[in-house]
Amino acid sequence: MDLPPLSSDTPIGLVDDALFKDLEKAIEIMVGVAVKSRLDDNTDWITLDRHPDWNESVFWCGIEEKHQDEDCSKRIESECKAYPTVKPNATLSPCPHATDELSESVEHKCFCFQIDDTMKLFHGHFLRPRIEAVLSPGHTFPQGDPAKELNSMQTNSLEHIVNIYNGRVHKSLLWATTDQKCAALARFVTDMRREEIVSVADTMPIRIPWHIERVHAILRWHRRSVDDCIRELKIAMERASRHQMSDYKPLAALIVEGEVNFDEYGL
């Protein structure tokens, strides 16, 4: 399946509010912290433990005979249903393939990935559409309002993040309302805490559930309390907001320059 380019020509709208831009950066910070805590700094390609249901010949819809002659980039057809590919409680490991195997190895193409590429796809084809849906007039939640999955103290914590943020960023960059921002943050938190993230990701217009599953598995929010997740999000949003008026430095620059304080994450 050929993915459409992530265009920079999309008309500016509420989803381009400064907070949502920094939410993307905050997610990159959290994922980067998690990866750095488990792997060496020089790891380029990484992999996650494979789900035990998969054998060596992997086709993401689980119907091997339908895709015998296809590579992993064409593994989902419109009538196919995606299944989890990452083992529960999966661990991160460096890619095991030699450099000269990268272009030929089916296992490498299917299971190994680079964080930067996965994050771009996560933002463009999952996070942004999920936020746009929340911001759409008259939007309803097929799986229920995510804010109702949180208690009053947790929703207040999200509102606190938004209020602090609104006070830091120039008002010309604040386009979405506080309620809209809180709803979008609640959706992100509840999405990342779902056990069955693949079924959610498989409903998106661009179906790349394996990339969404990777971010989900690295964050491990589904194994942590809501309060812990919101606390981590708050720290990462604070880091991201420091670069609001910059050109958004890449995660690598944040780490090299010492602007990500790993001690605050307890790692």
Rounded Cα gap, residues 137 and 144, in angstroms: 16
Question: What's the pLDDT tens digit per position in 123-154?
Answer: 999 999 999 988 888 776 666 677 788 999 99
- What pLDDT does residue 248 have? 41
Residue pLDDT, tens place only, 221-267: 999 999 999 999 999 998 888 765 444 444 444 444 444 444 444 43
- What pLDDT, on the 0 to 100 scale, is given for residue 60? 55
What are the residue ranges in the chain where pLDDT is below 50?
1-11, 57, 69, 71, 73, 75, 245-267
